[in-house]
Amino acid sequence: MTVTEASKHSVPDFKWGALDPQTFRKGIMENGAVMLRGAGDPVLLARVRQSLVELFTKYSTTPQSEIERGLKSSDPLERDYWEQIKLSHIFDRTFKRLAGYSYYEIVRQSGLWKFLARAFPEAELTESPSCNCRRVSVGERREFWDSPVEFHVDAQVFYDHKLSINFWTPLNECGATAPGLEVVLLGVQDTKAYLEHNPAGYEPRPGDFGHMKNFRCAKMQLPVLQEHGLGSKRWAPEFDVGDILAFTNFTMHATHSTASMTEPRMSVEIRVDLE
């Protein structure tokens, strides 16, 4: 079954406002992801987009030598800053300093934060230290742009000892002419079982970083997903500005990109941890 065929089947696609917190919780735990159509305020999203465009425009005229100097700086903060610029991942801590406001306003203003608190009343919600923007374009890699990423779970990179919800918010239309996002609609426990999650860790493999050794990461390669019958669970929705896809740190996801997606895409990954 192709991605398009899968999306014709029952998918967790809801209009924001027509969904109650309990159904959201059940949906995200059982499918790994829930689409919240129209949850983001287009005015605020345009403001965030403009702030980021201004930021990247400034750096596109920075001489390469200055960037290289920053990347090699002996000051870890300076190095971290230039790494963010180079990868086009501006973390919220840096965005706040430069723009004077936070990506988290997107989830606070829309009521998503309170909604999540009602869905998980036993948990304390905290802002994740890993909350960043991303700019993706297909084809030739350009300075300050990221390339499409393959299937992974965020828990293999950040943390696997707690649940975290990523409110994935594109700042322009995507999924048709610009790269979107694709998820495997598999529940949290089923995904952990499929990836043989082992908090104690397996023997690390060459190239492993973060918590990769705690999962059988090779099982996320496309042919292996297909072999296990998970191809039909891939969902690659189209997004309008304001549509937010919530998914967990245990949900398999990848950039949805095809050669015909000639437009770039900018997005924000607003992660809320459940302690």
Nearest distance, CB of residue 78 and ligand AKG, angstroms: 26
Backbone angles phi, psi at 182, to 5 degrees: -120, 135
Site string (200-229) toward Fe ion, x via CB under 5 A: ------------------------------
Stretches 58-66, 154-162, 169-177, 226-234: which one binds Fe ion (CB under 5 A)?
154-162
Residue whose tokens read 């967790």: 12
Which of ligand AKG, Fe ion, none is residue 197 near (CB under 5 to 8 Å by kind)? none
CA dist., res. 24 & res. 113, Å (int): 13
Stretches 146-154, 200-208, 215-223, 243-251: which one binds Fe ion (CB under 5 A)?
146-154
For the record, the structure tokens of 212 come out as: 């990769």
CA dist., res. 187 & res. 195, Å (int): 12
Which of ligand AKG, Fe ion, none is residue 191 near (CB under 5 to 8 Å by kind)? none
Which stretches of the chain bind ligand AKG, using CB under 6 A? 134, 136, 149, 154, 166, 168, 181, 253, 255, 267, 269
Residue 182 binds Fe ion (CB under 5 A):
no
> Using a CB cutoff of 8 Å and minimum separation of 24, what contacts does 141-144 make?
143/60, 143/86, 144/56, 144/59, 144/60, 144/85, 144/86, 144/88
> Tell me, what DSSP letter sits at residue 247?
E
Nearest distance, CB of residue 247 and ligand AKG, angstroms: 8
Please identify which residue in 146, 154, 160, 243 interacts with Fe ion, judged by CB under 5 A: 154
